[in-house]
Chains A and B, each alone.
Chain A
Amino acid sequence: MKQNWFYRKSSIKKLYISALIILGVVLFVEYFIILHPHFSIEKIFGFHAVFGFLSCIVLIIFAKLLGFLVKRKDDYYDM
């Protein structure tokens, strides 16, 4: 059976490349438009991109650490 488009090696490569292009465009388009920063912290170039990226990393790591404390086997309450 022919593999689904999403699972073909060639299309995964295409997806990676287009994702990188989109990320690049969204970031560097900032040079060409006037942002209207509400807070001075927003004046840093690529603030939203970096801020979004970093906060997600922090959230994932925090969740992982909390997981050590609160994760149990999924039949925990059935025992």
Chain B
Amino acid sequence: MTCSLFHPGLLLIFSGLLIPFIHGFKRTLFILIIPCLSLLSLWSMPFGSDCSIQYLDYELILINLDSLSRLFITVFAITVFTVGLFCCKQASSTELSAAYIYAGGAMSVVLAGDLISLFIFWELMALASTLVIWSAQNEKSYKAGMRYISIHLLGGVILMCGIAGYVYETNSIAFTHMQLNSISTWLILCGFLLNAGAPPLTAWLADAYPEASYSGTVFLSAFTTKTAVYVLLRGFPGTELLIYIGLFMIFYGIIYALLENDIRRILAYSIINQVGFMVCGIGIGTEMALNGTAAHAFTHIIYKALLLMSAGSVLYMTGKRKCTELGGLVQSMPLTAICGIVGALAISSFPLTSGFISKSMITQASIDEHVLWIWLLLQIASAGVFLHAGIKFPWFVFFQKDSGLRPTDPPINMKISMVFFAVICILIGIFPNILYNILPYNVNYQPYTVAHTITQLQLLLFSGLAFFIMLPLMKRTLTISLDFDWFYRHLAPILAKIVVNYLLNAQQLVNKFLISLKSSLSFDDKLDYQLSIGKSVGLIIFFFSILLLCFVVL
């Protein structure tokens, strides 16, 4: 192994393993210093490849740095630092440790120069993120984590099949731009898309994330979907199919968020919605669109973490997470409310916030390509984002009818981290060049023209008007919405029960037949012995032959 540089991802993974052994103030110091160190090492690295390891016949490249990967790792490190500060006093060591390994895995995926190391860290992320969910330590989170890991392991298998096929076909493990011309690249694309929350398996995200602890959800929101966006950016830019998938995700997220009652689930659906914008941008594939996607991923991680920190503070202080139970919290949690509103304005891409300067680049790309229908759909979507996340979230939590709850603002460390991210959201919104200068391509775009600012304000403010006019229709109910997970949470167990019943009946018939055989022949003693063994062995053979039959039929 030759490695002249300090790998920022591995640094986080190893320090994650150390966290359980450090306690008290030292732990706080440790979890704050580590992300800073990894950021430092990242920005002192030259562009190019480094850290190669010989594995079987392949040379794995752990560090492949360019402006795109640097952008993603920068925002990952900032997020780990801030969310670490957010929960440094309250979170369990298990959760922090899992979260750091998870974040380190995400950074390592982004830095990976080849498909094998990418896959290894990809799976490490899946495992560590499941541990983050389980750290909430209740039955609901346990079950949700089980469903989450099942889906991700399925995605991992699909990705592995794709990678194996791809390596066999091309004789190269390098991770570069791929063409959708063989089944293996299709499988790789499916594996990537599954982590992005693309259809049909969209439900895992909104199912699992809100079951994590108040701080675990914030960690989860930042990494899995955004590494998926990163690998799509790198592997499949300009794939037209992604435009349609992205548009589906955008509208799916809006509609389901509008129906939802759980505040963190509303925000989880809006992750899918925002990632939809990015996937759509990758599909458009021009330099403007790819820049927009990268910028949007950057700003999105920050304002989404801000929103979830504000929702997390509410959960932490009140123990409640449903719109129907909350309301009127602006009276006693003003700072949390302000930070939540800044995040809500940023996600709606209000002028002077970070979302405005990043999302407009994707919309601009659709204008440059002169595709009216995509542009119109993106405009509808922008209006819809303001509806479901921009107003709905703050309105039902901090305003609406008074719930009578009077919690105070959360502890100081949580306040500082929220304010820090709120300031970044506005700072990037006012000085877009901070972000534009570190994007992968040169930016030739001016977001703040008078026309653009005014039209955006018109679009958003009149969407707000629509919200308040339709408020009677938006009344929150104590409900959930069925999603694709219904198939594996409800239908599959029922089907499995029916199938098992059939099999047990069939086995009883076989037994009866054997017993009648036994009485007709008179080998009493020997057969009795064989039957007693035969019951369990026979059942296994029986299931196995059915499996084989299925295999042959398929």
Contact = CB atoms under 8 A, between A and B. Distances in A.
Interface string B450-482: 110011111111110111011001100111111
A62 B451 contact: no
B259 A66 contact: yes
B52 interface: no
Contacts of A50: 462
B372 interface: yes
Interface string A27-62: 101100111101101100010111111111101111
B505 to A, nearest CB: 26
A42 to B, nearest CB: 8
Interface string A15-31: 00000001100110110
Nearest to B334: A4
B423 interface: no
Contact of B259 (A27, A56, A67): A67
Contacts, number: 138
A74 B399 contact: no
A74 B479 contact: yes
B331 A4 contact: yes
B62 interface: no
A30 B387 CA distance: 23
A50 B331 CA distance: 34
A73 to B, nearest CB: 6
Contacts of B26: none
B384 A56 contact: yes
Interface in B353-400: 367, 372, 375-376, 379-380, 382-384, 387, 399
Contact of A74 (B261, B367, B384, B474): B261
Interface in B425-454: 449-451, 454
Given A60-B473, A64-B473, 20 more contacts: A6-B331, A22-B461, A27-B458, A35-B454, A35-B455, A48-B456, A48-B462, A51-B459, A52-B463, A53-B462, A53-B463, A55-B384, A56-B383, A56-B387, A60-B258, A60-B474, A63-B259, A67-B259, A71-B479, A77-B490
30 contacts: A22-B461, A27-B462, A30-B454, A33-B450, A33-B451, A39-B375, A42-B455, A46-B458, A48-B455, A49-B461, A49-B462, A51-B380, A51-B383, A52-B383, A55-B383, A56-B387, A56-B467, A57-B466, A59-B255, A59-B384, A60-B474, A63-B254, A64-B473, A70-B259, A70-B481, A70-B482, A71-B482, A72-B481, A74-B478, A76-B480
Interface of B: 254-255, 258-259, 261, 328, 330-331, 367, 372, 375-376, 379-380, 382-384, 387, 399, 402, 449-451, 454-463, 465-467, 469-470, 473-474, 477-483, 489-490
